[in-house]
């Protein structure tokens, strides 16, 4: 777990100039983007990102606020940083609600919406909340003063108010930092601390961090010799407090330097976790070094550990030095997937469909979140969402998730943030596939969709014809396409995703520009390959202007290695395009193939039909153009042998999996554990795209019924087993009824929203 520094909830009651602040009047898209990025940086190697929320109260320097808030009007006279403090005003009962409780709740909701895993209330070291709990600073005679229960009341009210807005069922953590002792007359005693901690346990705090001291009696200037000689300042106090906790996790912070002292503190049950502060400003990777067994203690510096002024200033200087460069610019490799498995994009079709109400149109549902809760526990290196559309009128299907400015809302952002969290649970990179239906939009959704040219897609999908496309003007390419992709990419970044993939394959709008079959333009977006690719490179450049590579945000692309049709993209075209993607700086490319007119699965050449991976022979020819861009190959992989061979021969670096993982959401985990050598061989015809696509949608719907936990942590729970002949026959019977249903809707010119719902023989 990584805690931020103290983030203040009141812009006028700061601990210091330069504190980050969360407050309603300062809300902005820029502030949210920065906090979202902060959370993402904290989570890079799996840490929980937790925001410490604080209110300085009477510890606000006088030059920042001469009359700060406090529990009572007792002025702080100690000058810790050669700074005088303001004369505090006692908060009225009403102001406790409006100036304290409401501000903490707003900040907690903000942290949740920006992708943090939780918050910690700072109720130690003499800050406002501890000004309420300490009898030294709380001389009130109302319900917030007197008894210990009354002095704690504001903290309990904050907890209850946060939990009302962000229930524990969301997984959002609420912790607290509290003093185990205050080392001063009338201050919080060990017995007080035990009683307060029992209340935190009973209330349901997720974790407590035990510390100690105030500005008047710093923990480092401890008075008892028995404490002075111990490495960890508060172990003796923690040992006595720890027994009150049954469910709340305990961390102990202060003075830890050696691995042996850390182990001893846990072994004797004084704590469950070790908090590190000043040592990690000298060694930011100290935990990694200890866990690797490379070192047994922090660097022993020559500063006097009892001189707080010097050590705090020194740590501040070290943090400033750390902040000059990112890990990537300091010589690291930026984002790195934990393995070679890519969860390929699969259309889910279970988001909301409400075109008349933008705020409710294309919202991810519980079914989506539950679905990715399963895949998020499947040990993928990277997980792509299904195609998330950037235009609310140009959809692949009713039920697509959509990101568009007209539909932006706190609810949409919270749902997408939750989606990213589900994906990342066991270390996968979370990447949104961004798409635009273009001429592949069903006529029941949009009779006149956009495209590169007015070449109509002949035929039907799910018994529904496609609209007659309208060619985009040069101006509309900017406003209706590029700007929408850029907006969606920023949205993905701000909601905690690690990157985006531009869908430029399978005949969607970007592929309609790159393919000579569908691009008959005579302006600078048509003709040569460079012109036909122009829109993609302009989207890339615009995204990078909004979200620079230095942020670590990934931009990838899915592109056809071949289109299998007259005048379509050839392998040589694909090589030339891929070289441009490499030169532009795309982080990864996913090679696939085919269009709605000539599906990849209906491959024409016998050499392709007989190969397990559909596009291997094409990838082998394209792969040499890439030097820095990472290559994934998707389509047809079923056996570990074929996956290994594809990587070893240099055709690809990563393996994309689609339909096999709707039957086995944890297939990569099984392969990595060496418990299987191939995916389940189902009894459906893999070359019948229509039925296998419908079957995968059905399995995804079944996965989405329960969370991973509700499924007993068995990812395949409730999924139809299509290797069973009886199940397949029953499914085909259900498909006949569903076909009638689809034909009826198509005849009524109504969109088909959802999938074939099927109950059958389940896997265990």
User: Residue 466 has what pLDDT?
Assistant: 94
For residue 504, give every residue at least 6 positions away whose Cβ sits within 8 Å of its Cβ, in sequence order, or none: 510, 511, 514, 536, 557, 558, 559, 560
Q: Mean pLDDT throughout 266-277?
A: 90
Residues 6+ apart with CB under 8 A from 278: 311, 314, 315
Count helices and strands in the chain by DSSP H and E runs: 26, 23
pLDDT at 166: 97
Interior CA angle at 320 toward 315 and 321, to 5°? 95
Give 551's contacts (C-beta < 8 A, 6+ positions apart). 37, 493
What proportion of the chain, given as a percentage, has pLDDT over 90? 69
Average pLDDT value for the chain: 88
Q: How confident is the model at residue 83 (pLDDT cuts 50, 70, 90)?
A: confident
pLDDT over 60 (residue 411): yes
Residue with tokens 């792969």: 623
Question: Cα(388)–Cα(502) distance, rounded to whole angstroms?
Answer: 10
> Rounded to 10 degrees, what is the CA torsion of 214, 216, 220, 221?
-150
Give residue 189's pLDDT: 79
Q: What is the largest CA-CA distance in the chain?
A: 88
Q: What's the average model confidence in pLDDT over 674-681?
A: 91
**pLDDT for 284-328, tens place per residue?**
888 988 888 767 777 776 666 666 556 666 666 666 666 755 544
Rounded-to-integer distance, Cα 564 and Cα 596, Å: 11
Give residue limits of the domains in the chain: 2-275, 277-327, 341-747
Domain 2-275 and domain 341-747 have a common topology: yes
Counting other chains too, the contacts that 254-261 makes at CB distance below 8 Å and 24 or more residues apart are 254/211, 254/212, 254/219, 255/230, 255/231, 255/305, 256/231, 256/232, 256/298, 257/231, 257/297, 257/298, 257/300, 258/231, 258/296, 258/297, 258/298, 259/290, 259/295, 259/296, 259/297, 260/296, 261/231, 261/232
Average pLDDT of the residues in 373-393? 97
Contact 586, 628 (CB under 8 A): no
- Model pLDDT, residue 333: 38
Residue of 525 and 194 predicted with greater confidence: 525
Contacts of 224 (CB under 8 A, 6+ apart): none
pLDDT greater than 60 at residue 243: yes
CATH number of 341-747: 3.20.20.70
Q: Is the pLDDT of residue 502 over 60?
A: yes
DSSP letter for 123, please: E
Q: Token match 């798409």: residue?
A: 435
Element (H, E) at 557: strand 554-560
Backbone angles phi, psi at 84, to 5 degrees: -85, 150
Q: Which of 45, 44, 14, 49 is nearest to 175 (CA)?
A: 49
Could you give the percent of the chain with pLDDT greater than 70?
86
Return d(Cα 180, Cα 186) in angstroms, integer.
Answer: 14
Ranges 236-240, 399-403, 621-625, most confident: 399-403
Burial of 225 (0-12, 13-18, 19+ CB in 10 A): exposed
CA neighbor of 332 nearest in space, from 298, 301, 288, 294: 288
Q: Is the pTM of this model over 0.75?
A: no
pLDDT at residue 228, rounded to an integer = 43
Q: What is the mean pLDDT of the segment spanning 451-478? A: 94
Beta bridge partners, 558, equal 503, 590
Higher pLDDT, 172 or 336: 172
146-202 residue pLDDT tens: 999 999 999 999 999 999 999 999 999 999 999 876 555 566 778 888 999 999 999
What is residue 459's predicted lDDT score, i.e. its pLDDT? Answer: 86
| Model pLDDT, residue 236 | 80
Q: Which pLDDT value is given to residue 78?
A: 74
What does the DSSP assignment read for 158-186?
A: HHHHHHHHS-GGGT-EEEEEEES---STT
Going by pLDDT thresholds of 50, 70 and 90, the confidence category of residue 225 is very low
613 or 253, greater pLDDT:
253
| pLDDT-wise least confident of 381-385, 449-453, 745-749 | 745-749
Q: How confident is the model at residue 376 (pLDDT cuts 50, 70, 90)?
A: very high
When pLDDT is cut at 50, 70 and 90, the band that residue 65 belongs to is: very high
Strands (E), 593-670: 630-634, 654-657
Average pLDDT of the residues in 533-546: 97
Fold topology of 2-275: TIM Barrel (3.20.20)
The tens digit of pLDDT for each residue in 578-604 reads 999 999 999 999 998 655 454 444 444
Q: Which two tokens stand for residue 392?
A: 């609310």
- Is residue 471 predicted with pLDDT exceeding 60? yes
Cα distance between residue 233 and residue 224, in whole Å = 10
Query: Mean pLDDT, to the nearest integer, of 695-700?
Result: 94
According to the model, what pLDDT value does residue 280 have? 85
């Amino acid at each position: 777990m990584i805690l931020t520094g103290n983030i203040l909830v009141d812009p006028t009651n700061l601990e210091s100039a330069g504190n980050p602040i969360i407050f309603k009047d300062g809300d902005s898209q820029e502030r949210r983007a920065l906090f979202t990025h902060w959370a993402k940086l904290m989570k890079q190697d799996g840490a929980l990102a937790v925001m410490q929320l604080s209110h300085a109260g009477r510890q606000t320097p006088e030059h920042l606020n001469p009359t700060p808030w406090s529990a009572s009007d007792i002025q702080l006279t100690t000058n810790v940083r050669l700074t005088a403090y303001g004369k505090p005003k006692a908060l009225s009962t009403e102001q406790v609600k409006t100036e304290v409780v409401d501000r903490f709740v707003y900040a907690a909701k903000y942290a949740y919406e920006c992708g943090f895993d939780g918050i910690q209330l700072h109720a130690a070291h003499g800050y406002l909340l501890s000004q309420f709990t300490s009898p030294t600073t709380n001389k009130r005679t109302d319900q917030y003063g007197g008894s210990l229960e009354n002095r704690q009341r504001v903290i309990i009210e904050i907890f209850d108010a946060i939990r009302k807005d962000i229930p524990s069922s969301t997984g959002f953590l609420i912790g607290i930092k509290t003093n185990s002792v205050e080392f001063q007359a009338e201050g919080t005693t060990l017995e007080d601390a035990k009683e307060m901690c029992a209340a935190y346990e009973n209330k349901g705090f997720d974790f407590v961090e035990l510390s100690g001291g105030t500005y008047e009696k710093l923990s480092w200037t401890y008075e008892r010799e028995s404490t002075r000689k111990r490495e960890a300042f508060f172990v003796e106090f923690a040992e006595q407090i720890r027994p009150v906790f049954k469910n709340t996790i305990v961390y102990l912070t202060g003075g830890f330097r050696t691995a042996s002292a850390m182990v001893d503190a846990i072994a004797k049950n004084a704590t469950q976790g070790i908090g590190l502060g000043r040592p990690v400003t000298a060694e930011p990777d100290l935990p990694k070094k200890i866990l690797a067994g490379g070192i047994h203690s922090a660097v022993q510096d020559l500063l006097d550990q009892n001189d707080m002024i010097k050590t705090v200033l020194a740590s501040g200087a070290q943090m400033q030095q750390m902040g000059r460069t990112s890990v990537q610019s300091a010589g690291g490799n930026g984002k790195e997937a934990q393995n070679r498995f890519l969860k390929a994009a699969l259309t889910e079709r279970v988001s909301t469909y409400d075109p008349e109400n933008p705020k409710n149109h294309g919202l991810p549902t519980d079914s989506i979140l539950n679905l990715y809760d399963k895949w998020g526990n499947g040990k993928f290196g990277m997980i792509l969402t299904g195609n998330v559309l950037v235009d609310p009128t140009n959809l692949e299907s009713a039920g697509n998730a959509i990101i568009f400015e007209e539909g932006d809302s706190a609810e949409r952002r919270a749902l997408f943030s939750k989606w990213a969290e589900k994906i990342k649970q066991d270390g996968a990179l979370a990447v949104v596939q961004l798409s635009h239906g273009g001429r592949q939009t069903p006529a029941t959704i949009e009779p006149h969709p956009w495209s590169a040219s007015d070449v109509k897609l002949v035929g039907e999908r799910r018994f529904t014809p496609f609209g007659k496309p309208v060619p985009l003007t040069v101006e509309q390419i900017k406003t209706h396409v590029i700007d929408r992709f850029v907006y969606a990419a920023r949205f993905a970044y701000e909601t905690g995703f690690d990157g985006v993939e531009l869908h430029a394959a399978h005949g969607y709008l970007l592929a309609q520009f790159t393919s000579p079959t569908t691009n008959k333009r005579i302006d600078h977006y048509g003709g040569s390959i460079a012109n036909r690719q122009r829109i993609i490179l302009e989207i890339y450049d615009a995204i990078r202007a909004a979200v620079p590579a230095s942020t670590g945000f990934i931009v990838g692309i899915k592109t056809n290695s071949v289109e299998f049709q007259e005048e379509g993209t050839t392998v040589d075209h694909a090589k030339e395009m891929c070289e441009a993607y490499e030169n532009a700086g795309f982080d990864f490319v996913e090679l696939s193939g085919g269009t709605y007119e000539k599906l990849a699965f209906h491959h024409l050449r016998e050499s392709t039909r007989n190969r397990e991976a559909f596009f291997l022979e094409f990838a082998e020819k394209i792969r040499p153009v890439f030097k820095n861009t990472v290559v994934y190959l998707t389509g047809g992989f079923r056996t570990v042998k074929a996956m290994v061979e594809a990587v070893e021969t240099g055709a690809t670096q990563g393996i994309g999996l689609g339909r096999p993982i709707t039957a086995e959401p944890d297939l990569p985990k099984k392969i990595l554990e060496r418990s299987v050598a191939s995916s389940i061989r189902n009894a459906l015809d893999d070359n019948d795209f229509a039925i296998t696509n419908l079957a995968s949608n059905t399995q995804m719907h079944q996965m989405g019924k329960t969370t991973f936990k509700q499924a007993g942590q068995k990812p395949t729970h409730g999924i139809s087993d299509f290797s069973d002949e009886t199940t397949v026959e029953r499914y085909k019977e259900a498909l006949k009824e569903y076909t009638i249903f689809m034909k009826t809707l198509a005849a009524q010119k109504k969109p088909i929203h959802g999938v074939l719902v099927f109950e059958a023989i389940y896997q265990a």
